[in-house]
A and B are shown apart, each in its own frame.
Chain A
């Protein structure tokens, strides 16, 4: 009796193994862990990557691609714990979406050679320290800023522009410099005023900065980070044009948001995933720019010409 039981047991186990191998090999989804400094609905940096991952999941299907996320990881120590946790749980790719996470990755990546890590905005993959499983991604914010600047300069009547940024570092700095250059290329006499709010979330101060810019004559405003919603509100209320960054901000003020620089993270993520599947775990820097579609300028027709069309229809503009 015992022998029979043992035999059945062995068959069961073997079949289980075979089945799981068979299904396992095919049905093992690519698992991504996503660590972000703020929340998935911050309408800026974190949300844009979240949206990108959701889109990829929809396109590839949940059997092929899954992702989990950790929010509000602005404390680097917490993020480090999360990164380590995810890596030890066998995720294929851990995205540490923030420039402050680099030092944590340097510490953790060597312990998990079979996990791939990615971070940005940066161009550092630490190959000089012998690390082989870190990717980097860097949107060239200055390109988006330049295009926005050109468009802004052509639209502005006053020639005065207002920029509202958080602190003068990283992407915000690049975007602002690109914006200024774009304006200068069209209108060298233009005046571009820049204010730094000192944080990423002081909506009230961003709003007042927008008011002050407009008092100083600006009829075009732009800026980066999640607090610009305050400034967009002012643009809407007082009739200025707004140029956005990170996500398409036209939903907030459809008649005033002219264009937004949409960062298409998939342009970096998709080749990254392919590389990882083929066994290349790191070492490449993915630049997102206008050429490779990593940056997309989303122009909002309604803000550009909506009013004009309305005026023609209502007879305010007579052409014949």
Chain B
């Protein structure tokens, strides 16, 4: 009996963590190159809607996913243009993107679909053989494809950032843009790249909700998840593995607090709901001893000769 409880909680945590993972890793890339994007939630919503709508129109889940990636790229382009080329105040432009994405996705939903409906999204994909391993098989290898994608993304991103010249360029652009520039690195191109990829990942994050995990779209489906995703980037100190840890920590505590409520423990639900947020702050505070170095150029537009 106890084992099934733990299995249930971890599975829940993994599902909950998936959208955060995509969005956080995407934001990490952008921030490593020096661009802050607070509008992640807006892009997630657009990705979620476009994926959902495409599936209702074409019946193809992969087309839906593709659509979400495209929309995410378009928004990424917009964000890059505003933050990198127009050198806007990044914190504020992000909020603008959020408000715009929230409004546009709700408007399109209203005009194009109208009423709430469900679809048949990505269903759990059992990986042959390993999914039969007792306990671990059920927890980790019976999830749907977008969940696998999110977790595979972490080591992939780690590799790109730490073991490739591209990753080196990205980090250099974020830490010492003047030095990188003098060495011939195209700051603008790198930043556009990371932000567009970040947008694509945010789009996938939204799609993971609307066509995989929840199979529905509604106004404000994400309910602020994008902001938590940005917060998790700081928790993870711009390292993909730590971002994963943060997403899992937050989601696991969330899964546990739901379980606490279901069990009927006599704590007011409001306090259990607070737990993921409190725990995240406490854990981060406790880890304060390690030296955290944010990208020096984060949130600072680049001007040659400044």
**Does chain A touch chain B in the assembled complex, meaning CB atoms less than 8 Å apart?**
yes
Q: Kindly state whether residue B269 has any CB partner on chain A within 8 Å.
A: yes
Of the candidates A193, A202, A207, the one whose C-beta lies within 8 Å of that of B262 is: A193
The reply to whether B117 and A251 contact each other, CB–CB distance below 8 Å, is yes
How near does chain B come to A229, taking the closest CB pair, in angstroms?
A: 5
How near does chain B come to A102, taking the closest CB pair, in angstroms?
A: 23
Say which one of B25-33, B125-133, B219-227 lies at the interface with A. B219-227
Using A199-B223, A203-B216, A203-B221 as known contacts, say yes or no to A208 and B15 having CB atoms under 8 A apart. Answer: yes
Q: Kindly state whether residue A211 has any CB partner on chain B within 8 Å.
A: yes
CA A211 to CA B15, docked complex, whole Å: 11
- B interface secondary structure, majority: helix
How near does chain A come to B154, taking the closest CB pair, in angstroms?
A: 20
- A interface secondary structure, majority: mixed
Number of interface residues of A (CB under 8 A): 39
Number of interface residues of B (CB under 8 A): 41
Of the candidates B5, B9, B16, the one whose C-beta lies within 8 Å of that of A204 is: B16
Of the candidates B19, B214, B259, the one whose C-beta lies within 8 Å of that of A233 is: B214
Using A41-B110, A195-B269, A253-B118 as known contacts, say yes or no to A212 and B255 having CB atoms under 8 A apart. Answer: yes
The reply to whether A201 and B218 contact each other, CB–CB distance below 8 Å, is yes
**Closest partner residue, chain A, to B114 (CB atom):** A41
Q: Kindly state whether residue B115 has any CB partner on chain A within 8 Å.
A: yes
CA A237 to CA B215, docked complex, whole Å: 10
Residues of chain A with a CB closer than 8 A to B262's CB: 162, 193, 195, 209, 212-213, 216
Given contacts A39-B106, A211-B11, 17 further A-B pairs with CB under 8 A are A41-B110, A42-B116, A167-B269, A195-B262, A196-B269, A202-B223, A203-B216, A203-B218, A204-B19, A208-B15, A208-B254, A209-B258, A211-B15, A212-B8, A212-B258, A236-B118, A251-B115
Chain A interface (Cβ < 8 Å from any Cβ of B): 38-39, 41-43, 162, 167-168, 193-199, 201-205, 207-209, 211-213, 215-216, 226-227, 229-230, 232-233, 236-237, 251-253
**What are the 5 A-B residue pairs with the smallest beta carbon separation, nearest first?**
A215-B8, A196-B269, A195-B261, A43-B116, A198-B273
